[in-house]
Structure 1
């Protein structure tokens, strides 16, 4: 047990996990805010929560560089922080949303499915033109047979894809290395 706790005692992992946990909770609060004002909190309306991920990733990189790295942050450290914060935040938010739509208000999920189906029917002509009638019907039936458990992996997969470029940019902005080792100081 001590070896497991010692593994998680690394500052890089601790900072990333804490910021990821806070990210997940903030995304869930955003979800609840949309729910409270009467907007379907899943789907296109929820995409804006990725801004929370970006802010928290930048905050985690800044904090690590200032407090742990003594002003320095390697690119690999920033990339690690970014992906761990993003993934943990998406997992926490996905599980919290899953519990909410499963146990608190299942109507949120059924409204989301209905909205997805209506959007697909509105764009049916364009979709059929691009992918064909058979593929459209397969996609339409797939939306109708979605389970609430798919919310978790959907959240993680979307955030992973959406996070690639922002995490790289944030990592490049916040990195700062000590290049004094590479200088040839001949006196």
Structure 2
């Protein structure tokens, strides 16, 4: 049963590409870490470019090799979303293990950076949301756990993927129109 499900080319190629994409995104995280750049936070957002490149490559490959030049819109959407989700889960877990087992200071520095950002914007936040809400936001930073990095990665990549997935799927879709050519 599992072999039939995971043996389907659409799922197989999307999952393999998702695994590769997750490892590449983690490599980007490690590159930032090696360059002494905070690897968590906004500096890591460009790693989504890796996802987009891999989505394009996988959809192109699937259309060319598996679909023999044809690709339905739903196939493109499915490939991209499975790839993106698998990549986000892999990246999230690898980052989680890194901050838990290899260098926990990355996570504590990340929390300190968040607190400093909130403290530096105290006047603006207090004006817009009130003093009580400002205090609550500041206290909530202490509740962030390393495991939250996994769900953050999945949710962030899911939201970021909506428009690129649609565009990629629309560009690469090609349906069999041979039935329309019968005159």
TM-score, normalising length from structure 1? 0.95
SS in 2 for 1:59: helix
Match among 147, 150, 160 for residue 149 of structure 1: 147
Match among 176, 181, 185 for residue 182 of structure 2: 185
Q: Which runs of 5+ in 1 are unaligned?
A: none
The answer to whether the 8 Å contact 1:117/1:144 transfers is no
Say if 2:33 is the partner of 1:35: yes
Match among 44, 50, 53 for residue 52 of structure 1: 50
Which stretches of structure 1, 4 residues or longer, exceed 2 Å deviation after superposition?
A: none
Match among 1, 4, 22 for residue 2 of structure 2: 4
- 1:138 Cα deviation after fit: 1.3
- 1:132 aligns to what? 130
1-side partners of 2:177 and 2:126: how far apart?
Answer: 57
Q: CA RMSD in A?
A: 1.0
- 1:167 Cα deviation after fit: 0.7
- 2:65 aligns to what? 67
Q: Which runs of 5+ in 2 are unaligned?
A: none
Number of residue pairs the alignment of both structures matches: 183
TM-score, normalising length from structure 2? 0.97
- 1:180 Cα deviation after fit: 2.1
2-side partners of 1:121 and 1:42: how far apart?
Answer: 19
User: 1:60–1:184: structure 2 CA closer, same or farther, 3 Å change rule?
Assistant: closer
